[in-house]
Amino acid sequence: MKASAKLAAALSRSARIAAGVASGRSTADRSIELQADANDVNRAAVMDITQGTLRRYGRVQALVRLLSARGSAPELVQGLLWCSLYAIDSGRYADYTVVDQAVKACAPLHIENAKGYVNAVLRSYLRDRQAMEKKLAEDLEATYQHPRWWIELLRDAYPTHWQDVLAEGNTHPPMCLRVNRRRVSARDYAVRLESEGITARTIGEQALLLAKPVPIERLPGFQSGDVSIQDAGAQRVARCMDLAPGLRVLDACAAPGGKAAHILETSDVELTALDVDATRCERIGQNLARLGLRANVACADCTHPSAWWRGAYFDRVLADVPCSASGVVRRRPDVKWLRRASDVAAFAARQAAMLDALWQVLAPGGKLMYVTCSVFPGENEEVVSRFLTRAPRAHRLPLPDGGPAQWFPSSEHDGFFYALIEKAA
């Protein structure tokens, strides 16, 4: 198959995914399809076009609105136009090739009657690109590639650097490794990477930041448990929980097990890992087994302690709670377009319920670590402040690593929030 023909196939598959996001479906709904095509030479192109389109979703949507004379087109037609506009902007393909293959992609999408429309819109963009750019500069969503409510929320919360947070949310995420200190040192593993032609630098005791992402298969010793993939921001947990051998530790929302594994790699503790989903609990077990680690894994809802707690208090509790994922959105660019402004308050209510429930199982003198992968204060400082008000025995401690509670996404790590809360004896 010629490269140009491959582009038509990639555009049609990407268009289906993009159209799904527009109708409220996550790209995760398409993960099985993409995995099934793992050996397909088009897979890389599909992933590039899909992710690239969703990172520029605000821009391509605005362009179609400006270029279309017939009003709103069917979702698949719009999805094809969004993906085609990204393909043009990417510079990976000749402009005429994208137009030609976009028209041909109408056939597998069963939208043959839209061929003329697709051709006209794309050619209009190529003809009037400069004028389009001037108009896009006036569109907030097209400029910052985030929903308007999201932009306004960050602008109100961080008036001096909201634009930087948004910009990082549009970048490609870094690939960071966590070296299993029970098996190998970070320094020695870095040497092994170098021998494989992989460049990395240390950014913590166990963290190695790769110069560019590589497939898991290229990581020496991955299957034998020498190393895991984990963002540097997520690796703050183990060094900020004040761990010590023999402590009873609860990871209340543990799947897929990365933070639980890091805790066990760091200290000889007695760990219980909970998750409400049975399939995700299986993943916890699989990840721990690969690393040669053990924990008590249970499928349970942490907000109902009576269903799983047997009365023995925990010395440390990790509450890595569900959230908007606004700090890791560059890894799942569809998320920002699937979220709604009301979701922040809904997550905050759920987070508060989790804190209240988990406080019951924390021993006097114990410490609870509250974690989100969010940059929204409504899920972070505000949730913690309200909890401290209604829990008189709770007081907040400085983080042991001396860093701020809120980490914003950067070239080294994603965005995370951490709060360490102690229960008075």
Rg, C-alpha atoms of the chain: 24
Taking the C-alpha atoms of residue 186 and residue 284, their distance in angstroms, rounded to an integer, is 23
Q: Single out the catalytic residue among 83, 106, 240, 373.
A: 373
Taking the C-alpha atoms of residue 73 and residue 68, their distance in angstroms, rounded to an integer, is 8
314 within 8 A of 332, measured Cβ to Cβ: no
Question: Which one, of 410, 423, 405, lies nearest residue 236 by Cα?
Answer: 405
Taking the C-alpha atoms of residue 228 and residue 231, their distance in angstroms, rounded to an integer, is 10
Q: Is 281 a catalytic site residue?
A: no
Q: Can you say how many angstroms the Cα of residue 188 is from the centroid of all Cα atoms in its chain? A: 29
Task: Give the total residue count for the chain.
Answer: 425
Taking the C-alpha atoms of residue 344 and residue 381, their distance in angstroms, rounded to an integer, is 13
Six-digit token string for 158: 């961080």
Taking the C-alpha atoms of residue 71 and residue 284, their distance in angstroms, rounded to an integer, is 48
Would you name the residues annotated as active-site residues? Answer: 373
